[in-house]
Amino acid sequence: MEKPGNVRLRLLSFAVIAYMMLAFAWWSILLYTKNQDAFLAKRDKLRILMVAEGSIKNDADFFQSTQYLHLEKQYKRQEYMVLGEAVVFTISLLIGLWLINRGYKQEVGTARQQRNFLLSITHELKSPLASIRLVLETIQRRSLPPEKLEKLTRGALLETERLNSLVNDLLLSAKLEAAYQPYRETLDLPQMLEDIVTRLENKYPSVSFVFHKQSAITTLEGDRSGLSSVMINLLENAVKYSKPPVEIEANIRQESEHIILEIADNGKGIDDKEKSKIFDKFYRIGNEDTRKTKGTGLGLYIVKQIIVAHEGTIEVLNNEPEGTIFRIKLPLKVDKE
């Protein structure tokens, strides 16, 4: 929702611009007609003078005389000047209008993202804390049978893991904003991906994961924790934004001097108009009040920053018949400074 103050300010600036346009149009028309009047008066005066001097016999002579042609040329030049100024001024005003509108839209977008972020972060921080607290209180109050205790503590541990990854994401995104330089070491990316897929297979037993290594792959110099975070984020999103039966494919291959990594799901897919926005910080599709899935809108922002720091690219494609494919292209050779 727009704040009433913002709407008023916006309407006021549009009204001022509209007034300026009208005033300018009025002055331009006035200048144009006055210029025309001046020209006609000068023309008539010249004709009377020339008739009195006897230098012309009729109108045809007058309209061909050098004095008249000179006067007409001067008039045309002034007419073009008025028209030219009007066009330049109108274009400048329209550009101004467009800039105001663009700035305003950006502001509204940022405000929406901040609100979304605050709502989701509050929820994401509060709910694990509340459930851990509940578990601890239950344990404190009652003596529980070992299997119940084991179940409760497992749940609490999962919640602490969620909190931990949220805090890590926040810290990582803050770090990415300051100068982030990937700490490079020799990595066996297919092995890393396979290990992560195996871990997620245990975490989500109902999801079917497929891992494909499609060609021999050279090792890559990269940041282990950064690139792990990229793979985990994409795979977790694939699980989160798909409905059962969930099928996820992780492909890795080498194409000449690049490693191509693809995470494909059969989920709800991403609209074309959202594809460029999802990598923005705190951006989540839809509205926080109605959304069911948990998240902060930091995941894909972090993914993109890490890939860019490795001089790679990431793109989003539609999967067939439905779902999404995230494709990452990482260069094997990086320009070292």
φ and ψ of 200, to 5 deg: -70, -30
DSSP-assigned letter for residue 276: T
CA atoms of 313 and 305, how far apart (whole Å): 10
Report, in Å, the least distance between residue 237 CB and ligand ADP. 4
Which stretches within the chain are classed as H helix? 4-53, 59-64, 66-141, 146-177, 189-203, 224-240, 272-275, 299-309
CB 262 within 8 A of CB 325: yes
CB 194 within 8 A of CB 236: no
Residue 100 or 317 having the CB closest to ligand ADP = 317
Report, in Å, the least distance between residue 177 CB and ligand ADP. 15
Binding site for ligand ADP (CB under 6 A): 237-238, 241, 265, 267-268, 270, 278, 283-285, 295-301, 324
Report, in Å, the least distance between residue 279 CB and ligand ADP. 7
Residue 325 one-letter amino acid: I
Report, in Å, the least distance between residue 250 CB and ligand ADP. 12
Residue 238 or 252 having the CB closest to ligand ADP = 238
Q: Residue 301: name the closest of 277, 325, 324, 322 by CA.
A: 277
Residue 278 or 314 having the CB closest to ligand ADP = 278
CB under 8 Å, gap of 24 or more: what pairs does 156-162 form?
156/131, 156/132, 159/128, 159/131, 159/132, 160/128, 160/132, 162/124, 162/128
Report, in Å, the least distance between residue 102 CB and ligand ADP. 23
Residue 259 or 298 having the CB closest to ligand ADP = 298
Residue 156 or 298 having the CB closest to ligand ADP = 298
Report, in Å, the least distance between residue 278 CB and ligand ADP. 4
Residue 128 or 295 having the CB closest to ligand ADP = 295
3-state secondary structure of 210: strand
Residue 6 or 276 having the CB closest to ligand ADP = 276
Which stretches within 178-223 are classed as H helix? 189-203
Report, in Å, the least distance between residue 292 CB and ligand ADP. 11
The residue whose Cβ lies closest to ligand ADP is: 295
